[in-house]
Amino acid sequence: MTDRAAGVIHDIGYQRYQGPRLGRGYAVGSLLTHSLRTAYGLGRSAKAKVFPWLVVGIVGVVAVVVTAIRSVTGEVVLSYLDFPDAVFPLAVLFCAVVAPELVSRDLRSGVLSLYFSRPLRRTDYGLAKLAALIGAVWLLLTGPMLVMFLGGVFSVDGWRAVWDEVGDFGSGLAYAALHAVLVSAVSLLIASLVSRRAVAAPIVVAAFLVTLPIVGLLETAGGETARQLSGLFSPETLLVGVRVWLAPEPDSMDLGGFGPLYGAVTVALVAACAGLLLVRYRRVRA
């Protein structure tokens, strides 16, 4: 840049862009990272950061307390697998606020027409948003679990114990992923149908709450088979069912021989929500 050194005033007129143009995959990735940042209020006003970080704080405190108790008394209050179940209501609350933030807001502002006029397919938009929410919920659950893991590793003796700890932590991460996928798929589908955030949020919470009494009713009033199947009717108990099926423990939910059914219903529910989400974005006016 010799002329710049010589202090020549540059023509500040329009310059054509000669650089690379990355394709659809990059476009989807950009939308995904932008949405993931949006979920935690990054790059947004301070007001948008309050709620997500409040939930992170509460979940974090739970993890810190559990870790502290373990390091002092040696007693494991919550295992890695227990942790996602224990904070399930917080994850739902998080989704109830973040899912509308990710999709309802876009419906209302009309920004979809700006996305769809770019090298991005309508279904890409839905999938990127879903992946972003899954990532956000998974980080919400696993970040505090990492605190528990670090505390745990330093409180056990011997390599063998550390290795066991890693294995437990790994299954905890996988179970957290299952939580994240199911909760995200259901709440994002609901939010994608409602353009007002204040309306979408309570509907998301309700979707997870109203199903619980059905489970309770079947559990108390039904016969043995009804009791074993009762967990299928609510996302929360459905997840516990999958966990019990894959990692049976004493004193856990009685599934009878229906374990695989819990797995199948979970997969079907996620697939249905994701499928409907894509249909929704194929149809949406923009």
Decide: is 21 part of the binding site for other proteins (CB under 8 A).
Answer: yes
Residues 166-205: x/- map of binding to other proteins (CB under 8 A)? Answer: ----------------------------------------
Decide if 55 contacts 140 (C-beta within 8 A): yes
C-beta closer to other proteins: residue 13 or 257: 13
Decide: is 73 part of the binding site for other proteins (CB under 8 A).
Answer: no
**Judged by CB under 8 A, which of 8, 22, 206, 226 binds other proteins?**
22
Decide: is 165 part of the binding site for other proteins (CB under 8 A).
Answer: no
**Judged by CB under 8 A, which of 3, 117, 160, 283 binds other proteins?**
117
Among 108, 284, 125, 129, smallest CA distance to 196 is for: 108
C-beta closer to other proteins: residue 42 or 199: 42
Decide: is 23 part of the binding site for other proteins (CB under 8 A).
Answer: yes
C-beta closer to other proteins: residue 48 or 76: 48
Decide: is 279 part of the binding site for other proteins (CB under 8 A).
Answer: no
Tell me which H or E stretch contains 100: none
**Judged by CB under 8 A, which of 61, 118, 153, 222 binds other proteins?**
118
C-beta closer to other proteins: residue 61 or 282: 282
Decide: is 13 part of the binding site for other proteins (CB under 8 A).
Answer: yes
**Judged by CB under 8 A, which of 50, 114, 153, 210 binds other proteins?**
114
Among 278, 225, 235, 281, smallest CA distance to 255 is for: 225
**Judged by CB under 8 A, which of 56, 60, 90, 105 binds other proteins?**
105
**Judged by CB under 8 A, which of 26, 53, 154, 163 binds other proteins?**
26
Residue 102 C-beta: closest distance to other proteins, Å: 11
Decide: is 49 part of the binding site for other proteins (CB under 8 A).
Answer: no
Task: State the DSSP string of the chain.
Answer: -HHHHTTPPPP-S-----S----HHHHHHHHHHHHHHHHTTTTS-HHHHHHHHHHHHHHHHHHHHHHHHHHHH---SS-TTHHHHHTHHHHHHHHHHHHIIIIIHHHHHTTHHHHHTSS--HHHHHHHHHHHHHHHHHHHHHHHHHHHHHHHHHHS-SHHHHHHHHHHHHHHHHHHHHHHHHHHHHHHHHHHH-S-HHHHHHHHHHHHHTHHHHHHHHHHHS-HHHHHHHGGGSHHHHHHHHHHHHS--TTS---TT-HHHHHHHHHHHHHHHHHHHHHHHHH---
Using CB under 8 A, count the residues that bind other proteins.
36
Structure tokens belonging to residue 186 = 């259901």
Decide: is 121 part of the binding site for other proteins (CB under 8 A).
Answer: yes
Contacts with other proteins by CB under 8 A lie at 13-17, 19-24, 26-27, 30-31, 34, 43-45, 48, 105-106, 109-121, 286
